[in-house]
Amino acid sequence: MKKLWILLVMPFLLLGCTLGEDMTNTPTKQVESMLSKYQTLDEDVLRNLDNVVAEEETFNTKQRDKYREIMKKHYQDLIYEIKDEKIDGDDATVEVEIEVKDYTKALKDAEEYRRNHESEFYDADGKFDRSLYMDHKLKELEKSKEKVTYTLELDLTKKDGKWLLDKLSKTDKEKIHGVYED
Please write the tens of the pLDDT for every residue from 13-55.
Answer: 444 444 444 678 999 999 999 999 999 999 999 999 999 999 9
Domain boundaries, the chain: 28-103+137-176
Per-residue model confidence (pLDDT) at position 14: 41
- The DSSP 8-state label assigned to residue 168 in this structure reads P
Give the mean model confidence (pLDDT) for residues 64-69: 96
Distance CA 120, CA 114 (A): 8
| Helix H or strand E encompassing 20 | helix 2-24
- List, for residues 84-120, the tens digit of each pLDDT value: 999 999 999 999 999 999 999 999 999 999 999 999 9
Q: What is the pLDDT of residue 50?
A: 94
Mean pLDDT of the chain: 89
Q: What is the pLDDT of residue 22?
A: 66
CATH, domain range 28-103+137-176: 3.10.450
Considering only residues 56 and 46, tell me which one the structure prediction assigns the higher pLDDT: 46
State the average pLDDT over residues 71-95: 98
Instruction: State the pLDDT at residue 17.
Output: 42
Considering the entire predicted model, what is its pTM? 0.83
Strand order in the sheet with 147-159: 79-88, 91-101, 147-159, 162-165
What is the C-alpha to C-alpha distance for residues 112 and 11, in angstroms, rounded to an integer? 67
Task: State residue 23's pLDDT score.
Answer: 74
Helix axes of 43-55 and 27-39: crossing angle, nearest 10 degrees: 60
Q: Does residue 126 surpass a pLDDT of 50?
A: yes
Q: What are phi and psi of 93, to 5 degrees?
A: -130, 130
The residue type at 103: Y
